[in-house]
Amino acid sequence: MAAVALLLGRESAAQGWPALDARALPWIALSQLPVALRARAPLTVFAVVCAADAVHVGLGYWPVVCTFGPMLALYTVAALRPLRDALCCAAVLTGLWICAGLVTDGSSMPSVLGQGLLFSAVLVRFGALARRSAALARRLRAEQAERARREVAEERGRIARELHDVVAHHMSVISVQAGLARFVFDSDRTTSRTALDTIAGTSAEALDELRRMLQVLREEDLADAGGGRDGTPAAPMPGLDRVEDLVRRVRAGGVPVEVRVEGEPRPLAPGVDLCAYRVVQEALTNVLKHARHAEAVVEVRYLPQHVTVSVTDDGEGVIPDRVAGGGGHGLLGMRERAKLYGGTISIGPRNEGGFAVRLTLPTSAAAARQGDDRTR
């Protein structure tokens, strides 16, 4: 801007104004160079460049040479400061424009006034738009950061539920089987060996599920998107097709479990399938921990647009000191899973004795909106 002002100043004589000399150069520099600092101190920079412009005009030099700096400084004030400050600075710039018109021979004052008002209004308008856009951008960044924090919190909650489901169930089975093996180790080697085999199988499955979870968590860092670093595929997510394996482990822990399936089994969405499996797993884990001598029934019903699963026990052999008060992580996790997939869940004691967990999940988006099979 300073270079263009100097080049423009070389035409002063041709326009009927005194040629630029050494006395004019400092004021040209002061009217242009300070705008490099306008973002740090917009009002101060505007005051400096306008003062330099006023001195330049007062010394009788061509007013057009120093107009660039004050105009850019006014735009910056409008972009960074409140509208009141911008309007005051616009009035100052318009006043400078009028002063330049007064010292210019043959100028039309209505035209000078119109130009001053027009340029000042345009600069203030675009500066205000820039300020509004900057505020919107800051608000959007804040909202994005907040949304990212919420997503991180939700992901942590999901991971916590997964870890609880995996660890609580498998460790409960291992604990029961370890106690059984220790009790009959000297008197019944066959039962003891069976219990140890169950411990080995359960721990291996727990490790597989934990390994699968870790692979999902670090999948962005894996070279092979389909599996681990060694190229092996990740273990599939558990679903209702693995309920029999789940029940077999619980039976090995001493809890008689009956499985009933109604309707034609069909593939479900991975999230729905995993949700149903985890609810059955958590319910059977609670039976194993709190009512070890009860008889349990797992019922799976495939309806046209819903799938329902229920786990009930007859309440025999309840261990009162170990019954949770209803606010445990497992029960909260079941409710959160059901809510996540648009389902309903009821958890509580039965009138005829025992405890029941009943889950209904829609198998399609339309079913989630209609809920036509939930009351069947």
Q: What is the DSSP string of 61-79?
A: --GGGG-HHHHHHHHHHHH
Grouping H, G, I as helix, E, B as strand and the rest as coil, residue 129 is helix
Residue 261's pLDDT is 92
Residues 6+ apart with CB under 8 A from 316: 291, 293, 294, 295, 354
Give the residue among 98, 93, 101 at the shortest CA–CA distance from 124.
Answer: 93
Per-residue pLDDT tens digits for 319-362: 554 444 444 556 777 787 788 778 899 998 888 888 899 999 98
Grouping H, G, I as helix, E, B as strand and the rest as coil, residue 90 is helix
Task: Provide the token pair at 351.
Answer: 């009138």
Please state the φ and ψ torsions of residue 344, each to the nearest 5 degrees.
Answer: -125, 150
Residue 151's pLDDT is 75
Task: Provide the token pair at 12.
Answer: 């002063």
Distance CA 308, CA 362 (A): 9
Report the predicted TM-score, pTM, of the whole model to 2 decimal places: 0.46
HSE-up (13 A, CA, CB side) for residue 227: 8
Distance CA 199, CA 205 (A): 10
Grouping H, G, I as helix, E, B as strand and the rest as coil, residue 44 is helix
Residues 6+ apart with CB under 8 A from 342: 361, 362, 368
Per-residue pLDDT tens digits for 163-185: 666 676 677 777 777 877 777 77
Task: Provide the token pair at 215.
Answer: 């692979």
8 A C-beta contact, residue 172 and residue 285: yes
The low-confidence residues of the chain, meaning pLDDT below 70, are: 155-156, 158-166, 168-169, 209, 212-236, 292, 317-330, 364-376
8 A C-beta contact, residue 247 and residue 259: yes
Grouping H, G, I as helix, E, B as strand and the rest as coil, residue 348 is strand
Grouping H, G, I as helix, E, B as strand and the rest as coil, residue 189 is helix
